[in-house]
Amino acid sequence: MGKSKKGKCSRYIPFYLMVLPGLLYLMMNNYIPMFGIIIAFKKMNYSKGIFGSDWCGFDNFRFLFQSDAAWSITRNTIGYNLIFFILGTFLAIVLAVSMNELRSKMAQKTYQTLILLPYLMSWVVVGYLVFAFLSGENGFFNNTLLPLFGKRPVNWYNEKKYWPFILVVVQIWKSVGYSMIIYFSSIVGISQDYFEAARIDGASKWKQIRYITLPLLKPTVITLFILSIGQVFRSDFGLFYQVTRNSGTLYDYTRTIDMYVYQALMKNADYSMSGAASFYQSVCGFVLIIVANQIVRKYQKSSALF
Amino acid sequence: MRTGEYRVTQIITNVICGLFALLALLPFILLIVASFTDNDWASVNGFTFFPKEWSISAYQYIAAKWGMIGRAYLMTILVTLVGTLLCLVISLLFAYGISKQHIPGMRAISFLLIFTMLFNGGLVSTYYCYTQIFHIKDTFWALILPNMMMNAFNVILIRNYYINSIPASLEEAARIDGAKEFRILFSIVIPLSKPILATVGLMTALGYWNDWMNGLYYLTARGGAKYYTIQIILNNITENIQSLAAAATRSSGMATMVPFPSTTIRLAIAVIGILPILIIYPCFQRYFVKGITLGGVKE
């Protein structure tokens, strides 16, 4: 390419034009809000705006962490995420391994289609599905299932002790198809030579799974683990808001950081508390994903994200 | 011995997969059956898989009130189309730009994109910026812009596809023939990247179809009701089924002709909301699966 420097630069102009709309969107949707995060250190005055409002140091955080909510929303957010990850990974791997052993392609495709179906639904719709089971007056549980075992009806949306269990079941029901497909595609990617060799040595099916498939899934598990560690301070707002029908009596076990931020912001218009909680969530998540990635880089470089 | 093990494996795996498939499907069956259950019967016996009295009155009610539901339906389709189209256009342009890593500045621009996966301003400041700076509250753009229009994962998927699956020699040849860069993108690169665009487009469309959170945050009942989508209506109905009944009686008098099935109607609206997904999904199943396998594990 024997063109002058100037000619080269002008040749690049179309590419800069191509990234421009996306860059503008990133500015609007991501980078300007990143500066807005200073809201957490302000005594918000709506008429003065973020930048005009007075600084208040760490007051907002002091109020947040002195309230009873701070501990319970942190515990709920992290606790549920850990249970979701552990149980979800286990079941997804069981399913993926089973799926891989099926010889009938037709059965494989049918099962996969059905198990993935819940993943495509919005949380609003999932809320309705759960309601059909748990509704106090009309629900399937209270009217059909519990009488079958001679149990009395339960006021599901007001009894918090059942909810850790319900939320785990609903979350896994919705997401297991997604993780199953990820693990299944990893298994399909394993070279057949390994299994061939094992078969010649007379290894049973179970031994092949135990000593070939599962160890080779480890990198995928680790990658997904870092991703979920980075998300451990986030909760799926839809799950906790729609499925519980935002029932206040359940809050001890169902209110996560996202629920708290939503409530403080949209219901109480409390920028101080919601801003502080939101800041706490973003910064902790950021620190965690960097730390998790560094640790993985040290022990298994190929699984690190960046 | 070998065949015995084979048979046992097939039985166990079929039982495991079949059980999960059944559990995945049952709630949908209950929802659909319940929406066809006679409301009075359901209020005594509850929703079951085998009701004794069937009824289509929930759907008759919706048909009579089609003005509101139909409008929300059209809005859902419009939001999905506009959102997906805009998403695809800005994502594919951006991805093509950053796939040219040798161009000065493109690495920095890639980093700007990837950094959004690691850190974000959080709901409060995003909400503040969209309402106080960009003023999207109670506009159509409230349903399009926040959080959904471009996502780093999708852009990286498209970029990787450009880098790995489209031979650089094709572009080079066109450049030597004097084709302009935009021309090359539109007449060579895009036609060759249809599979990845279909996958990303389908996942994005699903996201827009299912979205209710933007409506929750950025549409108010007073000013934004005309932009309500099916999902937002479903979300609102949960709380205000009674006010809906009152409004229906006031406005048309229809409620006296069509009995108002206050419980089954909600489920019937939910059924109508998921119907398009249930119909389209089996045909495009492989694109969904591809979207997950490509997007699931790192970049």
Q: Which residue, B9, B1, B290, is CA-closest to A103?
A: B9
- This prediction has a pTM of 0.90
A61 Cβ neighbours under 8 A, 6+ residues apart: A40, A276, A280
Amino acid at position A191, single letter: S
Give me the sign of the Cα torsion angle B237, B242, B245, B249.
negative
CB distance B108 to B167 below 8 Å: no
At B297, the pLDDT band (50, 70, 90 cuts) reads low
Report the distance separating Cα B129 and Cα A30, nearest Å. Answer: 10
Cβ within 8 Å, pair B24-A120: no
Per-residue pLDDT of chain A in tens (306 residues, 90 and over written 9): 444 555 667 889 999 999 999 999 999 999 999 988 888 898 887 778 777 888 888 888 998 898 888 999 999 999 999 999 999 999 999 999 999 999 999 999 999 999 999 999 999 999 999 999 998 888 999 988 998 898 899 999 989 999 999 999 999 999 999 999 999 999 998 989 999 999 899 888 889 999 999 999 998 898 888 778 878 999 999 999 999 988 888 999 999 999 999 999 988 888 888 999 999 999 998 999 888 888 878 877 776 767
Amino acid at position B220, single letter: T
In this complex, the residue of A33, A121, A271 whose CB is nearest that of residue B121 is: A33
List the single range of A51-55, B103-107, B147-151, B207-211 with lowest mean pLDDT: A51-55
CB distance B197 to B92 below 8 Å: yes
pLDDT of residue B255: 43
Cβ within 8 Å, pair A98-B116: no
B202-207, Cβ contacts within 8 angstroms, sequence gap of 24 or more:
B202/B284, B202/B287, B202/B288, B202/B291, B203/B154, B203/B288, B203/B291, B203/B295, B204/B83, B204/B84, B204/B87, B204/B88, B204/B148, B204/B154, B205/B80, B205/B83, B205/B84, B206/A120, B206/B277, B206/B288, B207/B148
Q: Which residue, A232, A213, A229, is CA-closest to A295?
A: A229
Report the distance separating Cα B12 and Cα B17, nearest Å. Answer: 9
In this complex, the residue of A111, A122, A177 whose CB is nearest that of residue B210 is: A122
Nearest residue on chain A to B135, alpha-carbon basis: A28
pLDDT of residue B242: 44
Residues 8-67 of B with CB under 8 A from A: 9-10, 12-14, 16-18, 20-25, 27-28, 30-31, 34, 42-43, 45-49
Mean pLDDT of B8-26: 95
CATH for B67-296, among 3.30.70.360, 3.30.300.130, 3.40.50.720, 1.10.3720.10? Answer: 1.10.3720.10
- B222–chain A nearest CA distance, Å: 16
Radius of gyration of chain A (CA): 25
DSSP B253: S
Instruction: Please give the helix or strand (H or E) that residue A295 lies within, else none.
Output: helix A271-299
Mean pLDDT of B41-52: 89
pLDDT of residue A6: 58
Contacts of A238 in chain B (CB under 8 A): 212-213
Contacts of A198 in chain B (CB under 8 A): none
Q: Is A42 helix (H, G, I), strand (E, B) or coil?
A: strand
Cβ within 8 Å, pair B297-A25: no
Annotated domain spans of chain B: 67-296
Domains of chain A: 74-303 (1.10.3720.10)
- B244–chain A nearest CA distance, Å: 18
Contacts of B237 in chain A (CB under 8 A): none
Report the distance separating Cα A232 and Cα A243, nearest Å. Answer: 20
The predicted-structure confidence for B113-124, as pLDDT tens digits, reads as follows 999 988 888 899
ipTM of the complex: 0.91
Mean pLDDT of B272-298: 83
CB distance B59 to A164 below 8 Å: no
pLDDT of residue A57: 84
Amino acid at position B227, single letter: Y
At B291, the pLDDT band (50, 70, 90 cuts) reads confident
At B241, the pLDDT band (50, 70, 90 cuts) reads low
